[in-house]
Structure 1
Amino acid sequence: MNFFEHQDRARKQTRWLVVAFVLAVLAIVAAIDVILLLALGLTSYEAGEALSATQVIAANAPLLAGGAVASAAVIGLASLFKTASLRSGGGQVARQLGGTLVESDTRDAKRRRLRNVVEEIALASGVPVPEIYVLEQESGINAFAAGFTPSDAAVAVTRGTLEKLDRNELQGVIAHEFSHILNGDMRINIRLMGTLFGILLLALIGRRVLIHSHIAGRSRDKNGAIVLMIAFGLMAVGYVGLFFGRWIKAAVSRQREYLADASAVQFTRDPDGISGALKKIAVYSDASYLDADSEEISHMLFGDGRKMMMFSTHPPLNKRITRVDPQFQPEDLERLAARIQRDQIQARRAEEKRRSESATPEKRMFDAGGIIDGIGQPDWERMLMAASIAASIPDHITQAAHSTEWAPEVLFYTLLDGDRNVREQQLLAVSGKMGGDSEAQVKALFKAAGVPSPEQRLPLLEIAFPALKRRPPDFISRVLDTAQAMIDADGRVDIFEYLLARVIKMHLWESHNPHRVRISGDKKIADYSMEARALLAVLARHGSTGPGSAEAAFAVGLETLGMDPQTPLPDERDWMAVMDSALPRLDRLKSAEKEKLVTAMAGVVLHDGRLDATEMELLRVSSHLIHVPLPLLHVPQ
């Protein structure tokens, strides 16, 4: 199952979730009406009226209807309230659980290791680096990813995860969470959290009524039995809500955990990483359990947040381990408990060194099919490339990208032109819009490292993004205006500058408006055939050199989409206006249709069998703008 199939599955599960929620609400409303009906029947009996159930219903129809409306309103409003409270993104969920943000310049070795692992996987996946949190009070081994989109995502791990897992195991856990980010699971999870709050609220009310029901039980007047009945009835309804909530979460979550485990193995090519983490959960006494109340977020966690007898949101540990390590036997855990800390670190380091020395990029990575297969599933070669690119960026530039104070200047630094005269105009634009201090910082970055290479620009932005998005909206607007002024400094805009500016603007806007973002739509390429041809034409003209090369590249793209390859290459003189019009429409395509489009885009860029750094970044940035996170591609030196 590739990236686009995962996206389609996520959309279908969202529709299923809505249906399940409606059915659960109807069941709860019906249960409340039954309680009211019984109470009303008991009242009529004590009053000496022998009324049938039909007569009781007829006599109290307005009251029953009002009870149904009130119950549905409580559930709906509570769900809307919870969803609204989560609009600020995944970081809000982590902070609600007591998470502490891992700063980009942290000096703690374990947190530095965590940040390095997250950044490597983010760069390899082609998505912005998410916010990173640690649940300091939790000693169990657990983690989760939360958010609506990759732009507002957050990854959180427990203190136990940091202290008990080695680097390979931590990498397996983080790769598991990135699978949820890339495949649309994270968006379902946070929506599920908001949706189920209304249902679970009645469970909380039911528990509260149960605690205080003894007051009604002591009452000796004739209404005491009725109050007691309502008290126990509300308790029962609360548990009906809890039952449906756990059932929905279990139904949505279990299979996705198996898929995320498998994706983690594909990310790292190291089944021992994630299986080692799962084995340690089985071995340690505190397992993956949280001290905090995990009822609302149980479906988002790497492992069970509490011990469950029924409707666990995760498959049994032994089954998960066996899926990634078929040789595993349950009785091995006792022996593993003794060996796990003694042997694993040394063995994993040796294995990592062996793989680093022997790994070579596969030919499959150079064709369009290989690129599509890698979306949302960066493999070991791409992890190595991410580490290589990160290592090629000077340390002081990386440190600046992690800094809230320097992140805007790193963005400006990525836009610097190689021509000295143009660069001077760009620095004047920075000085005029951001001030002399900002200009001096950009100059310092340039003096220290020169103009960044094409393959470094997008990764630098992805690293700087977490620090940049924490700045206030009015400051972000000034940054975007300055970036646009730098692009316009030479009187012309090349396509990479244009696309890079669009990516910056898109990610920053989405980080502040995650609830308004749609990752995919319901349109087909046939609905936007003109826009698809226009995009392929622009890529062909700007990514090809030599006579006839653009025409040949355009024909390859058209043929991939099932269009007439003999169609003449249009002369898109105002290509920026064409892209401004085409990209938002193409972002509304279904996931399967986006797969076809990205395959065609890759075919255009790779039509001559070669891929240089500029073409690679052109393809990656174009894909970003239709919410397809293209992973790193190997560029031959």
Structure 2
Amino acid sequence: MDFFEAQDHARRLTGRLVGLLLLAVVALIAVASVVVTLALVLLDGQPGGDSPARALDPRLLGGVAVAVILVVVVGSLGRHLQLRAGGAVVAEALGGRPLNLETRDDNERRLLNVVEEMAIASGMPVPSVYLLEDPAINAFAAGHDPHDAAIGVTRGAIETLDRDELQGVIAHEFSHILHGDMRLNLRLVALLHGILVIGLIGHMLLRGAALGGRRRSRRGNGRVAVLGLGAALMVVGYAGTLCGRLIKAAVSRQREFLADASAVQYTRNPDGIGGALKKLAAHSAGSRLAAANAEEFSHLYFGRGVRAMSRLTSTHPPLEQRIRRILPHWDGSLPAPTSRPVTPPGSASTPEAPTGTALAGAALAGAVVASVGRPDAGDLARARQRLAELDVRLIEAAHEPFAARALVYGILMGADPESRERQRLALTSQALPEVLVELDRLAEPLARLAPGHRLPLIELALPVLRQLSAAQFAGFRACLDRLMAIETRPGARQWALHRLAVQGIEGERRARRDRHLADLGGPLSRLLSTLAMAGLANEAEARDAVEQAAATLGIDLDFVPEPPPAADLDWAMERLVRLVQAERASLLAAMTRCVEHDGRIEPEEAELLCAVAWTLGCPLPDPGRLASRPGPRHDGGHRQ
């Protein structure tokens, strides 16, 4: 199953789950309505033997049913709004704290390195990282999409697992991000909370009636009716929650098997995640989390996290099954609980990155599409190598709030001296003095930045930039827009990185995906022409590239040779993000055909393609690995 199929599958699965839960809710509403109506009739206290008949009055039943529906809807909607901010809300609810990006703790530093490598290798934003001070071995990924994702890891995991095992766990969590499981999981949390509210109301009624009975005399059947109503609502609510948990558990177990398999695919190292699972099985604290509300998020965890009443309600398969699927020849032995040797940050046993394999035309486009959301061990090795090649001052800057802003400014400033001088002057009047000091300090390492290294640095800076306050981000955004506005010759790559930086902080604008390629001829013509001209100095070749892309898409496109303003490209992207998921693979193939028309994808072109794919929600590993090594260009120089 490729990335696009997995995303569609997650959406279909969400629909089916919602349907099943709605059926359960309808049944519960029917039962709850009858129970509440009977209680109201008893509370009314009117004499007569027609109480059952009055309880079945359609108008009364209908009114009660509407009230029960409102309770479920309001409960679900309220929880959804609480979780709207993304994975950070879940991490903090479980007692996690944002990991200090400048930490000097070896275990914490190693965790950050592994997460950053995995993000760069998979071509997606670096998620926020949270540490749970819990001795258990566990982890989770939470959020609505990759832009607001958070990964939480326990202290027990980072102190017990070696680097390969920790990388297997993180690869497992990245699979949940890439396959769309996170949004499904949060929707389940909201839906189940709405059902649970019925039981909570019953609990409050039962408690209130019990306390009230001690303070005042009984009044007819009133207290008995309230007690019965409370008890019935508790039974109904918790029965509904049990039904929801059974559905949640059945789906979650299959998603865990998929994530385990994906972790092996990403790392090509079954001993990594297999070893982590074996250590989890042998660990004295297991995977059980101490957080008070751990049960609510049980389907998010790497390990079970909570005690299940039975296998039917367990959100995770038995550890033995998971281990045997990864390590078929496992003899059943478990490691003795021992302290983990500290692995130096940045080191690992993953093999060196293989060299690129020359592909061309449709074959290369197909290979690029197939790689979306499917990083491999070579991508991890390349990401590690790329991070090792970066100046340490730039990496440290990406982890500090003032320096991270300066880093992004420096990356997005124009290539020619005239533009940079004007932009530096503009920043003097808009940017904070502390940021300007950092910009000057980073000028020398930024000037020596190798091709293809700008995108990873922006990705590294995103977690700390997401922590900016609303006022700080407004100032940062104003400076970025000013840099683009006064750029003498803004290039496609500069525009794409600018858009990526803004979207990576603001998050994805969730638009309805209801448009087809045939409806988007204008935006497609603008974007594909820009990609073709960015890599080809010869207009005739660029025109031919767009024509081949149009043939790939099966629609007519116009070639636009003029360099577009950033506003035009933003206009095109705002329409293209509404493209249906099923046709995004075709769009990515057409984009690749435009970029590689001259037979290779150079580092700058790969960076452009990845940045545009990134903002379209298609995390793309480095496509340069699929093309031949760069050679001398036709135009004798570099184009943006």
- Cα shift at 1:143: 1.0
The answer to whether residue 541 in structure 2 is matched with residue 549 in structure 1 is yes
Identify the residue that residue 593 of structure 1 maps to in structure 2.
583
Identify the residue that residue 381 of structure 1 maps to in structure 2.
378
TM-score by length of 2: 0.89
- Cα shift at 1:401: 0.8
- Cα shift at 1:432: 1.9
Identify the residue that residue 462 of structure 2 maps to in structure 1.
465
The structure-2 alpha-carbon separation of the partners of 1:346 and 1:411, relative to structure 1 and needing over 3 Å to count, comes to closer
What are the equivalent positions in structure 2 for 1:574-613 lying under 5 Å apart? Answer: 574=564, 576-613=566-603
Q: Kindly indicate whether the alpha-carbon contact (under 8 Å) linking 2:492 and 2:534 is maintained by their aligned counterparts in 1.
A: yes
Q: Kindly indicate whether the alpha-carbon contact (under 8 Å) linking 1:523 and 1:589 is maintained by their aligned counterparts in 2.
A: yes
Deviations along 1:175-218, one digit per CA (max 9) or x if unpaired, are: 11111112211122122222221112233444556667766999
- Cα shift at 1:249: 1.6
Give the counterpart letter for 2:329 in structure 1.
Q
Identify the residue that residue 297 of structure 1 maps to in structure 2.
297
| Mean CA deviation greater in 525-534 or 591-600 | 525-534
Deviations along 1:199-257, one digit per CA (max 9) or x if unpaired, are: 12233444556667766999977525434432321221122222122023224322221
Distance in 2 (alpha carbons) for counterparts of 1:406 and 1:442: 7
Query: Secondary structure in 2 aligned to 1:369?
Result: helix
| Mean CA deviation greater in 282-291 or 77-86 | 282-291
Q: Kindly indicate whether the alpha-carbon contact (under 8 Å) linking 1:416 and 1:451 is maintained by their aligned counterparts in 2.
A: no
- Cα shift at 1:458: 1.0
Cα-Cα RMSD: 3.0
- Cα shift at 1:288: 1.3
The answer to whether residue 341 in structure 2 is matched with residue 356 in structure 1 is no
What are the equivalent positions in structure 2 for 1:372-521 lying under 5 Å apart? Answer: 372-510=369-507, 517-518=510-511, 521=513
Q: Kindly indicate whether the alpha-carbon contact (under 8 Å) linking 1:114 and 1:162 is maintained by their aligned counterparts in 2.
A: yes
Deviations along 1:545-596, one digit per CA (max 9) or x if unpaired, are: 34632133223312221246xx763444546454233211111112121111
What are the equivalent positions in structure 2 for 1:249-328 lying under 5 Å apart? Answer: 249-292=248-291, 293-308=293-308, 309=310, 310-328=312-330
How many residue pairs were aligned?
Answer: 618
Structure 1's unaligned 5+ residue stretches are: none
The structure-2 alpha-carbon separation of the partners of 1:215 and 1:474, relative to structure 1 and needing over 3 Å to count, comes to closer
Give the counterpart letter for 1:181 in structure 2.
I
| Mean CA deviation greater in 192-201 or 375-384 | 192-201
The structure-2 alpha-carbon separation of the partners of 1:48 and 1:470, relative to structure 1 and needing over 3 Å to count, comes to closer
Query: Secondary structure in 1 aligned to 2:401?
Result: coil
Identify the residue that residue 63 of structure 1 maps to in structure 2.
60
| Mean CA deviation greater in 547-556 or 302-311 | 547-556
Distance in 2 (alpha carbons) for counterparts of 1:318 and 1:435: 56
- Cα shift at 1:363: 5.2
Distance in 1 (alpha carbons) for counterparts of 2:352 and 2:407: 33
- Cα shift at 1:120: 0.6
Identify the residue that residue 637 of structure 2 maps to in structure 1.
none
Identify the residue that residue 552 of structure 2 maps to in structure 1.
560
- Cα shift at 1:306: 1.2
Give the counterpart letter for 2:279 in structure 1.
K
Distance in 2 (alpha carbons) for counterparts of 1:357 and 1:40: 73
- Cα shift at 1:118: 0.6
Identify the residue that residue 200 of structure 1 maps to in structure 2.
196
- Cα shift at 1:69: 1.8
Query: Secondary structure in 2 aligned to 1:548?
Result: helix
- Cα shift at 1:75: 1.4
Identify the residue that residue 107 of structure 1 maps to in structure 2.
104
The structure-2 alpha-carbon separation of the partners of 1:594 and 1:260, relative to structure 1 and needing over 3 Å to count, comes to same
Q: Kindly indicate whether the alpha-carbon contact (under 8 Å) linking 1:540 and 1:604 is maintained by their aligned counterparts in 2.
A: yes
The structure-2 alpha-carbon separation of the partners of 1:352 and 1:131, relative to structure 1 and needing over 3 Å to count, comes to closer
The structure-2 alpha-carbon separation of the partners of 1:147 and 1:440, relative to structure 1 and needing over 3 Å to count, comes to same
Identify the residue that residue 30 of structure 1 maps to in structure 2.
30
What are the equivalent positions in structure 2 for 1:26-105 lying under 5 Å apart? Answer: 26-39=26-39, 49-51=48-50, 53=52, 55-58=53-56, 60-105=57-102
The structure-2 alpha-carbon separation of the partners of 1:51 and 1:437, relative to structure 1 and needing over 3 Å to count, comes to closer
The structure-2 alpha-carbon separation of the partners of 1:395 and 1:40, relative to structure 1 and needing over 3 Å to count, comes to closer
- Cα shift at 1:41: 7.7
Give the counterpart letter for 1:456 in structure 2.
H
Which of 165, 175, 180 pairs up with 1:179?
175
| Mean CA deviation greater in 375-384 or 488-497 | 488-497
Identify the residue that residue 615 of structure 2 maps to in structure 1.
625
Which of 526, 529, 534 pairs up with 2:518?
526
Q: Kindly indicate whether the alpha-carbon contact (under 8 Å) linking 1:414 and 1:452 is maintained by their aligned counterparts in 2.
A: no
The structure-2 alpha-carbon separation of the partners of 1:605 and 1:312, relative to structure 1 and needing over 3 Å to count, comes to same
Distance in 2 (alpha carbons) for counterparts of 1:509 and 1:435: 21
Q: Kindly indicate whether the alpha-carbon contact (under 8 Å) linking 1:118 and 1:174 is maintained by their aligned counterparts in 2.
A: yes
The structure-2 alpha-carbon separation of the partners of 1:568 and 1:530, relative to structure 1 and needing over 3 Å to count, comes to closer
Deviations along 1:297-339, one digit per CA (max 9) or x if unpaired, are: 111111212121132222222222222222235xx1xx3233x
| Mean CA deviation greater in 200-209 or 15-24 | 200-209
Query: Which has a greater percent of helix?
Result: 1
Identify the residue that residue 616 of structure 1 maps to in structure 2.
606
Distance in 2 (alpha carbons) for counterparts of 1:463 and 1:217: 61
Deviations along 1:38-81, one digit per CA (max 9) or x if unpaired, are: 5468789x98744485x2345x4443333222211111111111
Identify the residue that residue 5 of structure 2 maps to in structure 1.
5
Distance in 2 (alpha carbons) for counterparts of 1:346 and 1:405: 31
Distance in 2 (alpha carbons) for counterparts of 1:417 and 1:42: 78
The structure-2 alpha-carbon separation of the partners of 1:585 and 1:318, relative to structure 1 and needing over 3 Å to count, comes to same
Which of 498, 518, 529 pairs up with 1:537?
529
Query: Secondary structure in 2 aligned to 1:287?
Result: coil
Q: Kindly indicate whether the alpha-carbon contact (under 8 Å) linking 1:253 and 1:314 is maintained by their aligned counterparts in 2.
A: yes
Distance in 2 (alpha carbons) for counterparts of 1:98 and 1:36: 38
Identify the residue that residue 237 of structure 1 maps to in structure 2.
236
- Cα shift at 1:294: 1.8
Distance in 1 (alpha carbons) for counterparts of 2:245 and 2:151: 23
Query: Secondary structure in 1 aligned to 2:598?
Result: coil
Give the counterpart letter for 1:314 in structure 2.
H
Give the counterpart letter for 1:405 in structure 2.
F
